[in-house]
Amino acid sequence: MGDVAVGARSGHDGEEHRGRPAESAVPAADSAVTSGSDSGAAEDGRVTDEHTTADDEGPGGPARTPKKPRSFWKELPILIGIALVLALLIKTFLVQAFSIPSDSMQNTLQQGDRVLVDKLTPWFGSEPERGEVVVFHDPDNWLAGEPTTDPNALQTFLSWIGLMPSAEEKDLIKRVVGVGGDTIECKGTGPLTVNGKALDERSYVYAGNTPCSADDQGGQFKVKLPEGYIWVMGDHRQNSRDSRYNQSDKNHGMVPVKDVVGRAVVVAWPINRWGTLPVPDTFDQSGLNAQPNAAGLPVAPQGIALLGVVPVVLWRRRKR
């Protein structure tokens, strides 16, 4: 059948094939198969433009023309926009960079260090714990008299998306030494006590400093914290204007938990100071969390769980 189709399209009434073997028409037939159409062979076996277009279209109609990929310069603004949105979301909900402006947290943090602050866990109801280094908004004009900087447009933009610390936000960074329900006390030069337990602060208090300051400006105190508040102190005890020296403000030196931005978890800059900011071991000592009339509480949940399991076991035995 292939030979007949080729002969019919040649327009020579088959005269050229008289007296020749049947195999002489094979090359023409092969050309037709290669083109993808038995009836699409042109004279002398060449494929016409019409048949090539038909092959591209296929049986289902016109084929889709491949889209020309966008140039890099057209995609660049889109990529930049996505990056900015991601940076803003990260700054708002996950992590933000802050700069250390003073020496009040030496030697844990040095002036000029950049720390990354975890802002995610507070969204899930987590509250500051003793020993954590936290960033918080100025509760009541603690930063009065401190010098302020005037950032340029680029610095303002970078701080807005979280790539630079903000110079306009009035934030402080200190260590939490007490939480709601705690009684904090300083007598003489120390040690600092929490709920009657003395803290061994040698691992983080600035060398040469005493845990408490023997002065009448606030270095001697005893406070009981209500729920929803924390007591903060700098690691450089004799060079830190913290809760001790702001007891005359509206919060009596305490920081509302709602003003806490997040926990500082990593020193990110400079490179030679990379490291984490863990909770010192002294805050894990036994008895620090002890509260009156709380001795029997750990047993109660176990008893409740046991009472809940017994009916289930009896029901399963009866069913069997």
CB neighbours of residue 257 within 10 Å: 17
Task: Please give the full DSSP string across 185-253, using - where no structure is assigned.
Answer: EE-TT---EETTEEP--TTTSPTT--SS--SSSSSSEEEEPPTTEEEEE-SSGGG--SGGGGTTSTTTT
- Residue 107 CA, chain-centre distance (Å), reads 27
The tokens describing 223, both together, are 């406070």
CA distance linking residue 265 with residue 278, whole number of Å: 7
φ, ψ for residue 116, nearest 5 deg: -105, 130
CB neighbours of residue 159 within 10 Å: 20
CA distance linking residue 317 with residue 306, whole number of Å: 17
CB neighbours of residue 199 within 10 Å: 21
Strand partners, 197: 194
CA distances for 60 relative to 33, 48, 56, 66, angstroms: 20, 21, 10, 17
3-class DSSP state for residue 70? coil
Contact 126, 132 (CB under 8 A): no
Which stretch of DSSP H or E encloses residue 51? Answer: helix 49-57
Catalytic residue numbers?
Answer: 104, 174
Task: Please give the full DSSP string across 149-198, using - where no structure is assigned.
Answer: ----HHHHHHHHTTSS--SSS-EEEEEEEE-TT-EEEE-TT---EETTEE
Q: What is the identity of the amino acid at 85?
A: V
Length of the chain: 320
